[in-house]
Chain A
């Protein structure tokens, strides 16, 4: 069945709620309205107001309540209307939820999910990719799918996981991409990367919307005789160190591509992993393509300038190939 990225997530949560009575949703405007992006559209009719809870606009309370319910053996799925607002609940996530299993042995099987990312002119408070705030928090799993198949398989895996999972949905992809999603039940394992395109010459390590940017660039570069390999991380914490090392060992040249700001971004961490795992295999410098070190600006020309583009990948790939 061909599903959009959004429908795949929607179907994944729906099926988990159908399958497991301990799964419930809470968040702002997720009930009768069905959520700002309609991920939970129709859920309240099917599962009732007890399991599809419209909350006050209070992100710390949403996360706190989800965590508390998880301590009684429930599997809450909490929606952030935009992932930018996850900052409002940062303390609850970082100091309460993430540390709980390590400190006092209480598992917290909850999912915090919502739309992130730019390319839709959402402005500085509706375009961010705040995944790195949580990659630096041991105890959390951070998931950023790029395709409908992975989105559905990973949201199901996140709901079934015994750890707190933060699930970043890319809002640019919600209705722009469609993909084949099997009718039968499946999960995609958390922490496993996927080769989105096999190639010989150069590796792009990326995830989420940037996978599609890299795929477009690959088509252009094919005409130059440059064969890109694209590694879709799918999960950014924990990182699939083995897959990162393997692709570097295969192509010997690597570009790391992400949407969020360059400084302190995921590329730095991946470059360090490459140093540790595959330094001798490198035939060129590790290249970073990332968002600017600024907030995400609103006006389309400015936002376009801020965000990584296909032409950036094409340019950097040609440069690195020639190195």
Chain B
């Protein structure tokens, strides 16, 4: 188990020299043997098929519905012991996951109180993936969340009130009311690129962050996420391929959460596992149970290490289910109920709690209760802060379209690139060209 090491196994593109890759340690390999292994950390392999079926209602009218086939009664597997995490780290991740969930419960309540502008998006069932992945990053690494990775923001040091104020379109929100949800960023301290609503565009952007850092002498890990729906976009291919060709430290979590709004993964892609896509890019691919924080962390940690060694991108497919609708307005009535029941038993927080309290006994019942209470207290304080922020003034819609009047000083974040210059001087070109 584990990610392929460049040393022992060749990459599928035969370890070509990397254009511009200053720190790649990949060595030319004598063999052209292709290795298509996809390490799979999971302790169970749920095997369902969702298909469309015509149902008749009591009046005899026909309706097209989704139905699920497969073993939905399998027992819940244990959490896989982490190769890297110690007790303290596991408890920290568990706390981030609790904070993630309680923040979303608070957001749901704020919505019901009419305080949210627009909808609320949830990462219910995906907290292990958001929190344990971001936990694997070093402080200098970069990340970009998608809409359901609100837990990643907390792990990276944003306050719950930041996200709450975004949803309430408040003046003190990170975008000062100009955008909502997790659409904000910070290139100074927390190294976060703001997502946009269009899916996949962040992938080449994160590759570019790694490229910029590498030109400044640093191999950084750049982590982002894409869903089983979002990975259908063309820019996803462009971005991963660019990172692969340039050997950039992209850590891409493909969150296979089974539903893209109302469309099941069967209508998004044909291959068995999205991790197989990695083969086509010539990069390592790995599968984890997205409801098992230890598996998520281990895969992320290894991918981040590869990135820091200058060995290029990794694609990690995390399998789980989106346990609510696309957004708060969507009751997800199109999801066959047995799927909810199956995945509810695999709730990432309940599983991790059981692991820490009952299996490992790293937390006593009392300590667990105290931890939960402390998270609730924190969320209540954050909620209070967020609610008390004023709405922005109408005039604050203006300005800031351009960076002007010295509002930013542009300088290389990791120091001036060390440039080597050739001996040639500027000469006018005489070459033949297209369309004279």
Interface residues on B, range: 35 or more
Q: Are B428 and A7 in contact (CB under 8 A)?
A: yes
Q: B216 interface residue, CB < 8 Å from A? A: yes
Q: Are A102 and B401 in contact (CB under 8 A)?
A: yes
Distance between Cα atoms of A192 and B284 in the complex (Å): 51
Q: Are B20 and A49 in contact (CB under 8 A)?
A: yes
A37, A92, A95, A103: residue with the most chain B Cβ atoms closer than 10 Å: A103
**A6: B residues at CB distance < 8 A:** 429
**A105: B residues at CB distance < 8 A:** 400, 408
Which of B26-34, B125-133, B348-356, B409-417 lies at the interface?
B409-417
Of the candidates A62, A95, A104, A163, the one whose C-beta lies within 8 Å of that of B184 is A104
**A24: B residues at CB distance < 8 A:** 215
Q: B321 interface residue, CB < 8 Å from A? A: no
**A34: B residues at CB distance < 8 A:** 429, 431
Of the candidates A14, A100, A104, A107, the one whose C-beta lies within 8 Å of that of B410 is A107
Of the candidates A47, A64, A69, A108, the one whose C-beta lies within 8 Å of that of B239 is A64
B211, B414, B435: residue with the most chain A Cβ atoms closer than 10 Å: B435
Q: Are A68 and B207 in contact (CB under 8 A)?
A: yes
A71's closest neighbor in chain B, by CB? B187
Q: Are A42 and B201 in contact (CB under 8 A)?
A: no
Q: Are A95 and B241 in contact (CB under 8 A)?
A: no
Q: Are B175 and A67 in contact (CB under 8 A)?
A: no
Q: Are B435 and A10 in contact (CB under 8 A)?
A: no
**B428: A residues at CB distance < 8 A:** 3-4, 7
For chain B residues 174-210, which have a beta carbon within 8 Å of chain A?
A: 174-175, 178-179, 183-187, 193-194, 196-198, 201-210
B263 CB to closest chain A CB, in angstroms? 20
Q: A55 interface residue, CB < 8 Å from B? A: yes
Q: B111 interface residue, CB < 8 Å from A? A: no
Q: A318 interface residue, CB < 8 Å from B? A: no
B195 CB to closest chain A CB, in angstroms? 10
Q: A305 interface residue, CB < 8 Å from B? A: no
Q: Are A103 and B207 in contact (CB under 8 A)?
A: no
**A92: B residues at CB distance < 8 A:** 201, 204-205, 235
B178, B212, B427: residue with the most chain A Cβ atoms closer than 10 Å: B212
Q: A145 interface residue, CB < 8 Å from B? A: no
- How many residues on the A side are at the interface (Cβ–Cβ under 8 A)? 74
Q: Are A106 and B194 in contact (CB under 8 A)?
A: yes
Q: Are B235 and A91 in contact (CB under 8 A)?
A: yes
Q: Are A68 and B194 in contact (CB under 8 A)?
A: no
Given contacts A60-B204, A74-B412, A101-B401, contact A68 B431 (CB under 8 A): no
Of the candidates A36, A66, A103, A141, the one whose C-beta lies within 8 Å of that of B208 is A66
A42 CB to closest chain B CB, in angstroms? 6
Given contacts A68-B211, A122-B435, contact A102 B178 (CB under 8 A): yes
A24, A58, A120, A122: residue with the most chain B Cβ atoms closer than 10 Å: A58
Q: Are A49 and B410 in contact (CB under 8 A)?
A: no
B23 CB to closest chain A CB, in angstroms? 11
**A55: B residues at CB distance < 8 A:** 242, 245
Distance between Cα atoms of A53 and B198 in the complex (Å): 27
Q: Are B20 and A67 in contact (CB under 8 A)?
A: no
Q: Are B194 and A100 in contact (CB under 8 A)?
A: yes
Q: Are B426 and A74 in contact (CB under 8 A)?
A: no
Given contacts A60-B238, A102-B401, A109-B410, contact A47 B435 (CB under 8 A): no
For chain B residues 228-281, which have a beta carbon within 8 Å of chain A?
A: 234-235, 237-239, 241-242, 245-246
Q: A138 interface residue, CB < 8 Å from B? A: yes
**A304: B residues at CB distance < 8 A:** none
Q: Are B401 and A104 in contact (CB under 8 A)?
A: no
Q: Are B204 and A68 in contact (CB under 8 A)?
A: yes
Distance between Cα atoms of A47 and B20 in the complex (Å): 12
Q: A70 interface residue, CB < 8 Å from B? A: yes
**B183: A residues at CB distance < 8 A:** 103-104
Q: A121 interface residue, CB < 8 Å from B? A: yes
> 19 new A-B pairs (CB below 8 Å) besides A48-B420, A64-B207, A163-B404?
A21-B416, A22-B417, A46-B425, A47-B422, A50-B20, A50-B22, A58-B241, A64-B201, A64-B204, A68-B210, A71-B187, A91-B198, A91-B201, A92-B235, A95-B201, A96-B196, A96-B205, A103-B184, A107-B408
Can you list 30 A-B pairs with a CB-CB distance of less than 8 A?
A: A21-B412, A21-B418, A38-B429, A41-B429, A46-B422, A47-B422, A53-B246, A58-B238, A60-B239, A61-B238, A61-B239, A61-B241, A65-B246, A67-B208, A68-B211, A69-B212, A70-B212, A71-B187, A71-B209, A72-B187, A72-B216, A73-B216, A75-B410, A91-B198, A95-B201, A104-B183, A104-B194, A106-B187, A122-B435, A163-B403
Nearest 9 CB-CB pairings of A with B? A68-B208, A64-B204, A69-B212, A72-B212, A65-B208, A61-B238, A58-B238, A107-B403, A61-B242
